[in-house]
Amino acid sequence: MYWSKKLLYILVPILILAGIELLFVHPHPHFVWEGWVGYDAVFGFISSTILVIIAKPLMDGLIKRPEDYYEDIYVPKGYQANGMKETSAGEPVKPSKEDHHE
Partner 1 sequence: MNSLLAHPSFVLLLGAVIIAVLPRKYKKYLLLATGIAGLILALRLPVGMEYSLPLIEGLPLVILKVDQLAWLMTSAAALMLLASILYGWGEIGHREITWGLVYAGASCGALLSGSLIMLVIWWEVMAAGAAFMLISRHDRHAVNAGIRYLLVHFFGGNLLLFGIVLLARQGYVLVEPLSRGMGAGYWLVLAGVGVSAGMIPFHSWIADAYPNASIAGSVVMSSMTTKVAAITLLRLFAGETFLVWMGILMAFWGVFYALRENHIRRLLSYHIISQLGLIITAIGIGTPLAKNAAVALTIGNMVYKGLLYMSTGSIYYCTGKQKLTELGHQIETVPINACFFFVGALSIAGMPGLMGFACKPMVMAAAGSEHMALVSVLLYFAGIGTFLSIPLKLGYNMFVGVNPAPEMKKPPKIMMYVGMALLAVIIFIAGLFPGRFYQLLPWSELTSYTPYTLDHVVSEFQLLLGSLLAFIVLHHLFKVKKGVSLDMDWFYRRPLASLVLMLSNGLNGLRLAIWRSLLGILERILPFFRNPMRILMPWKAGGKEDFQPDRYRLPVGAGASWILLAFAVMFLLLSAAV
What is the contact mask toward partner 1 in residues 28 to 67, using x (rule: CB under 8 A)? --xx--x---xxxxxxxx-xxxxxxxxxxx-xx-xxxxxx
Binders of partner 1 among 14-33, rule CB under 8 A?
14, 17-18, 20-21, 24-25, 27, 30-31
CA gap 42, 50 in Å, rounded: 12
Question: How far are the Cα atoms of 4, 14, 26, 46, 70 from residue 49, in angstroms, in the given order?
Answer: 18, 17, 29, 5, 31
CA gap 60, 32 in Å, rounded: 37
Residues that bind partner 1 (CB under 8 A): 3, 6-7, 10-11, 13-14, 17-18, 20-21, 24-25, 27, 30-31, 34, 38-45, 47-57, 59-60, 62-67, 69-70, 73-74, 81, 102
